[in-house]
Amino acid sequence: MNATISASDLANDLAAAVPPVLLDVRWQLTAAKAAGEPPYDGRAEYESGHLPGAVFVDLDRELASAPGEGGRHPLPDLARFGAAMRRAGVSSRTPVVVYDGGQGWAAARAWWLLRWTGHPDVRVLDGGLPAWQGPLEKTVPTPTEGDFVPEPGAAGLLDADAAAELARSGVLLDARAGERYRGEVEPIDPVAGHIPGAVSAPTTENVGPDGRLLPAEELCARFKGLGVTGDERVGVYCGSGVSAAHEVLALAVAGVPAELYVGSWSEWSSDPDRPVAVGADPQ
């Protein structure tokens, strides 16, 4: 099953007898784009124009629990997540396509959660809303209730201890910007640096200038250069398990299964007993 779908293929699928359920997951990391500007409101963006039939999904409230010991975007309560998906029309046998404003991080978080909880057919619109050339609508749909019941997978999820072990025995990729990995700056979390043994692999480098993921062969070459040879377990973390989901998506396009440390640096750095490495060296 492909992890992504092009805008042209999505247009064709929407005209099929059983079109995919569309989820709009527009979201941004910061509360405001710049000082003095109002906080970003994904729902307002959605209501100003979205793909026909798409339902808005709130990342902070429906794809994550409240910030706490588990990080800034811990796993959502699965009963609440399932109810949100069913309200959006998600059923176990109906394909789902998720998209966001173009960055791909939020859409990837929704993709990962649905896949991890058992949905067999979920794809991310490559390039997000900017890639879509068809009409938009402002009408908020009322979809038929879906039947999807999340059932967490046995694999694919890391906690802090498993991430630390994977950094020693496999390949643990840090999807944040390089300066955050090196500990030169930390604008969000309490401590700067990275998990000892993790390899810097900014997820922004998986995307081309058109906002779409690089071709599979280019992604394969990039990850191979980072130590992903196909013979080891691979894990990914970021600040709070959102941009790392985008790297898991890129790895899937490259044909590499990877596990996600959802708590990520926001959880790791909250415990003063956990070790912290700084500089360009993984160690």
For residue 39, being part of any structural domain is answered with yes
pLDDT tens-digit series, residues 230-261:
889 999 999 999 999 999 999 999 999 999 99
Residue 125's pLDDT band (boundaries 50, 70, 90)? very high
- The DSSP result for the chain, as a single string, is --SEE-HHHHHHHHTSSSPPEEEE----SSSBSSTTSPBP-HHHHHHH-BSTT-EE--HHHHSS--SBTTBSSPPPPHHHHHHHHHHTT--TTS-EEEE-SSS-HHHHHHHHHHHHTT-S-EEEETT-GGG--S--B-----PPP--------SSSEE-HHHHHHHHHHSEEEE-S-HHHHTTS--SSSSS-SB-TT-EE--GGGGB-TTSSBPPHHHHHHHHHHTT--SSS-EEEE-SSSSHHHHHHHHHHHTT---EEESSHHHHHTT-TTS--B-SSS--
- The residue-averaged pLDDT of 190-198 equals 96
Q: What is the pTM of this model?
A: 0.96
Domain end residue (candidates: 97, 131, 165):
131
In this prediction, residue 33 carries a pLDDT of 43
- Same domain for 31 and 117? yes
Domain coverage including residue 211:
157-268
Domain end residue (candidates: 115, 131, 147):
131
Is the dihedral angle over the CA atoms 126, 172, 238, 24 positive or is it negative? positive
- Same domain for 127 and 9? yes
Question: Residue 220 catalytic?
Answer: no
- The residue-averaged pLDDT of 163-173 equals 97
- Same domain for 261 and 209? yes
- Same domain for 107 and 47? yes
- Same domain for 8 and 114? yes
- Same domain for 74 and 163? no
pLDDT tens-digit series, residues 52-83:
999 999 999 999 999 999 999 999 999 999 99
* Distance (Å, whole) CA 203 – CA 251: 10
* CATH classification at residue 241: 3.40.250.10
For residue 148, being part of any structural domain is answered with no
For residue 218, being part of any structural domain is answered with yes
Question: How many domains is the chain partitioned into structurally?
Answer: 2
Residues of the chain above pLDDT 70, percent: 96
For residue 241, being part of any structural domain is answered with yes
For residue 277, being part of any structural domain is answered with no
For residue 152, being part of any structural domain is answered with no
Residue 31's pLDDT band (boundaries 50, 70, 90)? very low
Domain end residue (candidates: 63, 96, 131):
131
Residue whose entry in the numeric block shows the structure tokens 């293929």:
9
For residue 151, being part of any structural domain is answered with no
For residue 143, being part of any structural domain is answered with no
In this prediction, residue 154 carries a pLDDT of 74
- The residue-averaged pLDDT of 13-22 equals 95
* Distance (Å, whole) CA 219 – CA 215: 6
User: Which one of the listed residues 238, 256, 258, 260 is annotated catalytic?
Assistant: 238
Instruction: Calculate the average pLDDT of the chain.
Output: 94
Residue 34's pLDDT band (boundaries 50, 70, 90)? very low
- Same domain for 124 and 195? no
Residue 37's pLDDT band (boundaries 50, 70, 90)? low
- The residue-averaged pLDDT of 18-30 equals 92
Residues of the chain above pLDDT 90, percent: 92
- Same domain for 15 and 90? yes
Whether residue 35 is predicted with pLDDT greater than 60 in this model: the reply is no
In this prediction, residue 57 carries a pLDDT of 97
With CA atoms as reference, report the closest residue to 183 among 194, 171, 167, 195: 194
Sheet holding 4-5, edge to edge: 4-5, 122-125, 96-99, 21-24, 55-56
- Same domain for 80 and 115? yes
